[in-house]
Structure 1
Amino acid sequence: MTSQPFTAITTGDGVRIAYRFDGDEDKPVLLLSNSIGTDLHMWDGQVPALTAHFRVLRYDARGHGVSDVPSGPYSLDRLGRDVVELLDGLGLERVHVLGLSLGGIVAQWLGIHVPERVERLVLSNTAASLGPANQWDRPIADLLAAPDMRATAEMFLHNWFPDHMLRGDDEVVEGFRRTLLGTRREGVAGSWAAVRDYDLRRTATLIHSPTLVIAGEHDTVTSAGHGQELAATVPGARFTVLPTVHMANVEAQEEFLDAVLTFLTEPS
C-alpha cells in the first residue's frame, strides 16, 4: 500500500482544503467525508481494510484539521462545492463516496447536485434533515461565547460513543478528544450552521447512485429512525442497522467494514 503526505487545494473562495491519498493508484477511488469536530484521522482504523480494494481519498473539511478555518457560518452548498473543487483539482471524474454524520450530509448533497461524479454512495449515521432549525441557534451562540472547546468536546464524545468506551483511558476515544480540543470553535460553529440550515427530505429523492444507508441502533444524534427515513426517500436505497451509537465505523468496525465493502465491491 502506498500513502501520500498531506497536501492541499485552494477553493475558489480562497480556502485551503487539506487531503491525502492512501492505497494504490490503479484502484478505484473512495472518498471519505468526516463528522463535525473530527479530521481525516477518524478513518485511521478503517483505512487498511479499505485500501485493499480502493485508493482512499480523505480530506479535512473547512474549519477542521489542517484545513483553513474561515469565519462562519458555512452552508451545505459551500461544503459540497469544496468537495467538487477537490475532485476537479485532482482530476477525478467519478468516485465512490462514504460519509458519516455531517460527511453523510455532504455525501447526500453530492448525490443530488453532481450525480455524474458519484459511483456508489454510503450514508452512515446521518439524516436528510435535523430540524427544527432554531434548536441550533443556542448551541452555536454558547460555543462561540465559551472560553474553549472543553465542554463541547465532552458533549460530542458522550453523543458519539457508548459508556464503556468513555470509562477509563480508551486510546481511540482519547484520540478523538485531542482532535476536538484542537479544533477551533469557529469551524464547529460554522458547520453547525450548515446543519441548521439544510433540509434534503425532498431533494434526496433525486439521488440515483446505488446507495447504502447505515444507522446506529443506539444513536441519539442521527437516530435509526432518521436513517430509515433517509433510506425510504432515496430510490432503491438499502438500509442496515448496527448495534452502535454514532461512530459506527469505530464502535463496530468489523461489522461496519463488512457492510461497506460488501456493498461497494459487489458486481454491478
Structure 2
Amino acid sequence: MPTATNDGVSLHYETDGDGPTVAFVGDVGYGAWLWGWHYDALTGPYETLVWDLRGTGDSDAPDGPYDVATLAADLEAVLADHGVGRVHLVGAGLGGMVALQYAHEFNRARTLTLYCTAAAGSELDADALASLSLDAGADSLAGAFSDGFRGANPDLLERIAEWRRADDATGAAFDAQAAAALDFDAPPLYEVTLPTEVYYGVEDPVVPTDAAESLVSGLPRGSGEAVEGRHGCFVEHATVLTDRLTAFLDEYTDHEF
C-alpha cells in the first residue's frame, strides 16, 4: 500500500486503472468507502486515486488543529509521490474545500467537481456537521441520506456501518477535521479559473442551498445543480452523478491530455 509523507505525517493512498488521473478528496470523518461508487465507475479509462485524509483510515492521525491549507499540502504530497502531472479533483464537503485551496496554490489540477461544498466554513451548520460523526450513534447517517433511501437499503446501510467502523475518523481526529472545515475561507474565487461543477443537496442540513449557490456564482467557470437529498446526495444518486462526472471529465480530457 503506497504512502506519501508531508511534514512527517504518513498518508495512505490507493490507485487503480489507467489513463488520466482522477483524485478523490473525502469529507469530514468519512473513509475512502465514500468514493466506492465513483471509483468503480471511472476506473479503467481513468486512473482513480483515493487517499485517507490525516486522521482517517490508514493515514496518521496527528494532534490537531488541522486546517485546509495543510490538507491541500497533504494532497500535493500524495500526487507528487505518485508522479501525477495533471489531475481531475473530485471533493465532497471538506474535500471540496481542499480542492478549491489546492487549485489556487498548486498547478496540477485541471477540473474540479465539488459536492455539498461551501466557500466559507462560517456558512456551515456546525451542529449538523457534528451529527454526522460515527460517535453520534445510530442516527449519524440521518443527515447524509434521505429517509426513503435509508428505508429502502437496509443491507447497504449495514455495509456502510462496517466500512465506517473500519475507516472513519472519530474522536479528536473527527473534531480536528471538522474544525478545519468550519475555519475555512476560500481563496478569491475569481482566481480559481478551472472548469468546475458543483452539486448540492436540496435538503442538506450541513451546507445550506444558498451557500452552495453562492459558491457557484463566484467561480468564473462554475456551474451548479441541485440534487434531491442531503449531505450524501452524491452517494444516494451515484449512478446519475457518475454519468455526469464521466461526461464532464471526457470533455476536458479531450482538450487537456
The TM-score with structure 1 as length reference comes to 0.85
Root mean square deviation, CA, Å: 2.5
What does the per-residue CA deviation read over 1:15-40, in whole Å, with 9 as the maximum and x for residues that have no partner? 1100000112xx00000111112111
Q: Indicate conservation of the 8 Å contact 1:23/1:56, yes or no.
A: yes
What does the per-residue CA deviation read over 1:76-121, in whole Å, with 9 as the maximum and x for residues that have no partner? 111110001111111212201000111111111111111x210111
Q: 2:84 aligns with which of 88, 92, 96?
A: 92
CA drift at 1:136: 4.8
Q: Indicate conservation of the 8 Å contact 1:15/1:70, yes or no.
A: yes
Inter-partner Cα distance in structure 2 for 1:150 and 1:222: 19
Matched, 1:9 2:4: yes
CA drift at 1:185: 1.1
CA drift at 1:179: 4.1
- Alignment-derived partner of residue 243 in structure 1: 228
Inter-partner Cα distance in structure 1 for 2:160 and 2:56: 13
Write the letter of the residue equivalent to 1:57. L
Matched, 1:113 2:105: yes
Q: Indicate conservation of the 8 Å contact 1:33/1:104, yes or no.
A: yes
Q: 1:112 aligns to what SS in structure 2?
A: helix
Inter-partner Cα distance in structure 2 for 1:173 and 1:195: 26
CA drift at 1:157: 1.0
Q: 1:170 aligns with which of 110, 131, 154?
A: 154
What are the within-5 Å matches in structure 2 for residues 1-268 of structure 1? Answer: 6-11=1-6, 13-24=7-18, 27-114=19-106, 116-131=107-122, 136=126, 151-154=135-138, 156-167=140-151, 170-182=154-166, 183-200=169-186, 203-266=188-251, 267-268=254-255
- Alignment-derived partner of residue 146 in structure 1: none
Inter-partner Cα distance in structure 2 for 1:29 and 1:264: 10
Q: 1:150 to 1:81 in 2, by over 3 A?
A: closer
Inter-partner Cα distance in structure 1 for 2:155 and 2:117: 25
Q: 1:173 to 1:203 in 2, by over 3 A?
A: farther
Give the length in aligned residue pairs: 251
**Which sits farther off after the overlay, 235-244 or 159-168?**
159-168
Q: Indicate conservation of the 8 Å contact 2:195/2:221, yes or no.
A: yes
CA drift at 1:181: 4.0
Inter-partner Cα distance in structure 1 for 2:161 and 2:48: 24
Q: Indicate conservation of the 8 Å contact 2:2/2:13, yes or no.
A: yes
For structure 1, the 5+ residue unaligned runs are: 1-5, 144-148
Q: 1:189 aligns to what SS in structure 2?
A: helix
Q: 1:131 aligns to what SS in structure 2?
A: helix
Inter-partner Cα distance in structure 1 for 2:159 and 2:28: 15
CA drift at 1:220: 1.5
CA drift at 1:43: 1.2
Q: 1:213 aligns to what SS in structure 2?
A: strand
Percent of aligned pairs with the same amino acid = 28
Write the letter of the residue equivalent to 2:62. P
Inter-partner Cα distance in structure 1 for 2:140 and 2:202: 18
Q: 1:132 to 1:234 in 2, by over 3 A?
A: closer
Inter-partner Cα distance in structure 2 for 1:132 and 1:103: 16
Q: 1:191 to 1:226 in 2, by over 3 A?
A: same
